[in-house]
Amino acid sequence: MTAPHSPRKLDVAAAIERGALSRTVTIHRAAENPTIDSIALISRPDQARRVSPRTAVIVASGAETSGWLVSAVLRLAWERRASLVVAAGQHSESVVLLARRLDITLLSTADDPTNVALALSADIGAANAAIESQLIALLRTVGEQTTVDEILRVAAAELRLCLELRLGEITIATVGERESQGLTMVGPLTISDSASGSVTLWATAGKNEDFVTTALTLILPLIRAAWFESGALDLADVLSAVAAIDEAAMPDNLALQTVMPRLGWRDGDAHAVVFLAAPGKRPTRTMSNVVRLLWRRAAINRSLVDTADGWISVVSLGEDDDTSRVSRELGAALATSLGELGIGIGLSRAYDSPGNLQEQVAEARIASRTAWAAGAEGVGSFEELTLQAIDYLFDPSDAITVAQLVVPEFCRANDRDRLVMSVRAFLDEGSVVAAAARLSLHRNTMTARLDRARALGLPVGDPRQSFSVEAIIRAFLPRDHEGPGIEPLTRTTSKGLS
């Protein structure tokens, strides 16, 4: 349906150059080129007080057209923001000077003003009919689309303009190409309003601002309907995935086997879990719709599932088992836009089988939170975390998960609990002698235990990593030392870490 040019309301230039006013004589042409929405055929100056803006004021035949009457009509028409004035006969120099000073278009006609009014009315009706015809065709075409993305894409193509979707001041989607000159911003048109912010639609229109405004106003209900419906598109996946996670599903769990393919898992390929985290925020419906829109616009053909603190998905790594490639692709497509929304991106390690979904989600969640808290740009990859990542974690189980990645030998050591107690005493007392006395050990025994902890990868005594060491020790403290303990984790992943 795309037309070479969008239909326009009749304006002064079109009426003079090729319409009903082409036989008139231009006394003065205003700098602006307003549209002509209606006609007022008047016989007395006071009738001009009641005309609407963008009206063609035509002095009727038989009316006195002396200089004072035309001058009075010009002043009143200018006050009412009329588009132009047409009056028969010759006009004095004072009338011409007044039209120039007010900068309002003044035309003279030798024809019967009533005939001019009838012809101009026909031109206005024809222009409005063309507009209505294209608006109906636009609604029919756009109405066939079912998602926000599709509606924006088709509308931008049909209207030949650039459409923007914004959350507050942040642009979350841009469709279409901007013109280089003569741009006018049309908006905002509110799609959704919530505590997360207002989602609004903007357009960069050229000269045809009125038509664009009318068209967007008509398609706005379609966008709103698609926007609110999009929150329910993945409902089945959400319920199944959340149930599988809550059940701590293992590979033989039927719920997990059902949900993983729906999240994007394909047999024969290595996969990783992606977690989009909004630290300190509970995802709202508006924010979920925004994130899903950005996710789809990044051409990621995978379901995105809401959790209590973010969104998860499963992405294929292909046969190369390469998380770095996926990390770069996700970063290029999403890091900037999600970063502006305060959302971090995390990627788990590669897995060749569904495994324990809880573990995979935990890895991706940790990676996203640490990357966001550290102010890192791009995607946080779990397998690239260092011990300092623990500085940004407050959950002991998360600290253990990172520790098993970066200091696996210490975590697997048979004498780990004894080493934990010794390092704890050293951190509390600040010296080997005091720590040995606290545990009733010989100084050399305490020194040997600290050396063994260092040999197993734990950087005891390094001031740059003291907080991380403290967090690991607290997480591994035995039950009888400080509250409920945490049993050693012995999971096995596709990377061979346990």
What are the pLDDT digits (tens) for 400-423?
Answer: 888 887 888 988 899 888 999 999
d(CA 139, CA 148): 14
pLDDT at 495 (0 to 100): 30
318 or 451: which leads in pLDDT: 451
Mean pLDDT, range 113-123, rounded to an integer: 91
Alpha carbon distance 486, 490 (integer Å) = 12
Q: How confident is the model at residue 242 (pLDDT cuts 50, 70, 90)?
A: very low
- DSSP-assigned beta bridge partners for residue 167: 170, 199
**Topology of the domain covering 235-385:** Alpha-Beta Plaits (3.30.70)
Grade residue 246 by pLDDT with cuts at 50, 70 and 90: very low
Q: CB neighbours (10 Å) of residue 177?
A: 12
> If residue 95 lies in a helix (H) or strand (E), which one and from where to where?
helix 93-102
Burial of 222 (0-12, 13-18, 19+ CB in 10 A): middle
Q: Does position 141 have pLDDT exceeding 80, yes or no?
A: yes
CA distances from 304 to 137, 260, 494 (A): 34, 12, 24
Using one digit for the tens of pLDDT, what is the confidence trace for 33-92? 999 999 999 888 888 888 999 999 999 876 555 678 889 999 999 999 999 999 988 888
What lies within 8 Å, CB to CB, of 83 at 6+ separation is: 11, 12, 34, 35, 36, 37, 54, 55, 56, 105
Give a three-class secondary structure readout of 256-324: HHHHHHHHCCCCCCEEEEEEEECCCCCCCHHHHHHHHHHHHHCCCCCCCEEECCEEEEEEEEECCCCHH
The 10s digit of each residue's pLDDT in 162-182 is: 888 887 777 777 787 765 555
- pLDDT tens profile 306-365: 777 788 888 877 766 778 888 888 888 888 878 878 888 888 888 776 666 677 778 888
> Taking the model in full, what pTM does it have?
0.52
330: which 2 tokens? 């996700």
390-498 folds as: Arc Repressor Mutant, subunit A (1.10.10)
CA distance linking residue 224 with residue 217, whole number of Å: 11
Residues of the chain with CATH 1.10.10: 390-498
pLDDT > 90: what percent of the chain?
18
Average pLDDT over residues 287-304: 73
- Greater confidence (139 vs 493) lies with 139
What local confidence, expressed as pLDDT, does residue 240 receive?
Answer: 43
pLDDT of 83 reads 93
Give the relative orientation of helices 285-297 and 148-159 as an angle to the nearest 10 degrees. Answer: 60
- Give the pLDDT score at 368: 83
Structurally, at CATH architecture level, domain 12-126 sits in 3-Layer(aba) Sandwich (3.40)
Give span(s): CATH 3.40.1390.20, the chain: 12-126
Q: Say how far apart CA 293 and CA 199 lie, in whole Å.
A: 12
